[in-house]
Amino acid sequence: MAIALDAPPLLTDHRRRLLDAMSEVVARKGYAEVTIADLAAEARVSRRTFYEHFASKAECLIALYDVASGQALRVLRDAIDPQRDWHLQVEQAIEAYLSCLASSPALLRTLFIAILGLGPEGLAARRRANLRLADFILEVVNQPPRAKPLPAAFATGIVGAINELILEAIEQDAVDKLPEMTAVAAHLARAVIDEA
Q: Does residue 54 carry a pLDDT above 90?
A: yes
CATH number of 58-195: 1.10.357.10
B/e letters for 100-129, b = 16+ CB within 10 Å, e = fewer, are: bbbebbbbbbbbbbbbeebeeebeebbeeb
Q: Does residue 110 carry a pLDDT above 90?
A: no
Distance in angstroms (rounded) separating the CA atoms of residues 117 and 159: 20
Task: Note the pTM of the prediction, 2 decimals.
Answer: 0.85
Q: Does residue 52 carry a pLDDT above 60?
A: yes
Least confidently predicted of 79-88, 91-100, 187-196: 79-88
| Interval 35-46: pLDDT, tens | 999 999 999 999
Task: Report residue 11's pLDDT band, with 50, 70 and 90 as the boundaries.
Answer: low
DSSP character string of 95-125: HHHHHHHHT-HHHHHHHHHGGGGGTHHHHHH
Residues near 155 by beta carbon (within 8 Å), at least 6 away in sequence: 134, 135, 137, 138, 141
